[in-house]
Amino acid sequence: MNTKEKIIQLLNYAINAPSGGNSQPWTFKISDNKLTILSHPEKDNPVLNFRFRGTLIAQGALIENIIIAASHYDLEAMVNIASDPNDQAIAQITFNDFQVSPDPLYSSIPKRFTNRKQYRDKIIPKEILTDIFNMANVLGGSMVNTFFIGDKNKMAIAGKAASNNEIVMLENKVLHNLFFKEVIWNSYEEKIKGGSGLYIKTLELKKPQEIVFRIIRHWPMMAILKKIGLAKFIASENAKIYETGGAMGAISVNGDSHENFIMAGRVLERIWLSCAKEGINLQLMTGILFMWQKIMAGETEIFSASEVSLIKTSYEQISSAFNIKDGIITLMFRVGYSENPSAFSYKKEPIIISS
């Protein structure tokens, strides 16, 4: 098998990387022993994907998968990130033959998935969490910091703060319409759309909740029901789910360059794969964090004054719960033990563009 054939094979494995709304915002070019990753931020949420940071995080997770998968094929992956954050060719990876021990996380790549079910109230051994987060901090270096909490009171505070995302998403007409545009209502539609979007079954809604979701996808209905506090009720129910599990984690970046957010994605994927290896589930909770970044940049046009206040307060509560004093909190997640999710997001085959 030549190098190009190896690259194609490892790409089929590596694309099982997380992305906002399962947007899978990438295509590829292959030339000899070089792989170019082309970024497609337009596939992501146009409001929450502030300065394309969500897309950059997704690209980082993809790159980490590629580096890990390359070791399985006796290849060394040398990554070069584009100096211009607006360059569509966001990264070029050069592969060289190199006898190296396969990364032990390789087998975890297909086992990585989002699980939004309630987690068991079971403690994760501290040595496992410490090892995972210490490894993540080594990878992140001076660009990224990771944090975790296991205190139930702090987890409840952070979980409630994260659930305020649902209030803003459902009561804000612009965000409401964008969210429901992403929802995929059946497996047939998911395949037609090539997997891009949120498959309804992955949201782990109970049947009555799914019926309500189908009703409130129409803004006039949501506009009526928000007056009786439906969004706040949904948020309070989700907060009960968010605080379950063995721990919560957060990732902050020490700067706002595109390289920082790509590294945050690499660190996230390393944590997620390490959790998968231990049979630990993970769910991201990031909406409030991206809204906060948008607001702090002065881009408040789509938000009401009360929404701005809620977002700022929620971010401060998350920061306090994790005792994060510096940097930009970019990612937050819960980890724990649970039964398998009801459904998995569909991943389309890598699109390789002829050079």
Identity of the amino acid at 250: A
Cβ(20)–Cβ(54) below 8 Å: yes
Range list of H helices, 83-229: 126-140, 152-171, 173-182, 187-192, 207-216, 219-225
Q: How far apart are CA 307 and CA 327, in angstroms?
A: 23
Q: What is the model's pLDDT at position 204?
A: 96
| Half-sphere exposure in the Cβ direction for 209 (13 Å, CA) | 12
Contacts of 237 (CB under 8 A, 6+ apart): none
CA distances from 210 to 40, 186, 200, 214 (A): 31, 12, 8, 6
Cα–Cα–Cα angle for 40, 20, 150, rounded to 5 degrees:
145
Instruction: Tell me if domain 3-112 and domain 126-336 are identical in fold.
Output: yes
- Span 140-162, pLDDT tens digits: 999 999 999 999 999 999 999 99
Tokens 């699980």 sit at which residue? 115
- Span 48-94, pLDDT tens digits: 899 999 999 999 999 999 999 999 999 999 999 999 988 999 999 99
Confidence of residue 188 (pLDDT cuts 50, 70, 90): low
pLDDT at 338 over 70: yes
3-112 in CATH: which number? 3.40.109.10
Cβ(109)–Cβ(66) below 8 Å: no
Q: What is the model's pLDDT at position 302?
A: 96
Cβ(282)–Cβ(244) below 8 Å: no
pLDDT at 107 over 70: yes
Q: Which fold has domain 126-336?
A: NADH Oxidase (3.40.109)
Q: How far apart are CA 355 and CA 89, in angstroms?
A: 13
Residue 13 tokens read as: 């494995």
- Span 258-295, pLDDT tens digits: 999 999 999 999 999 999 999 999 999 999 999 999 99
Cβ(19)–Cβ(25) below 8 Å: yes
Share of the chain above pLDDT 90, in %: 87
Q: Are strands 247-253 and 183-184 parallel, antiparallel or unpaired?
A: unpaired
Q: What is the model's pLDDT at position 85?
A: 87
- Span 51-62, pLDDT tens digits: 999 999 999 999
Supply the mean pLDDT for the chain: 95
Confidence of residue 193 (pLDDT cuts 50, 70, 90): low
Cβ(212)–Cβ(200) below 8 Å: no
- Span 227-253, pLDDT tens digits: 999 999 999 999 999 999 999 999 999
Q: How far apart are CA 333 and CA 42, in angstroms?
A: 25
Cβ(343)–Cβ(203) below 8 Å: no
Q: Are strands 352-353 and 26-31 parallel, antiparallel or unpaired?
A: parallel
Q: What is the model's pLDDT at position 191?
A: 59
pLDDT at 195 over 90: no
DSSP for 205-248? Answer: --HHHHHHHHHHTSHHHHHHHGGGTHHHHHHHHHHHHHT-SSEE
Beta bridge partners of 121: none
pLDDT at 192 over 70: no
Average pLDDT, integer, range 101-124: 95
pLDDT at 189 over 80: no
The verdict on pTM exceeding 0.85 is: yes
Average pLDDT, integer, range 97-105: 89
Where do the domains of the chain lie?
3-112, 126-336
Q: What is the model's pLDDT at position 311?
A: 99
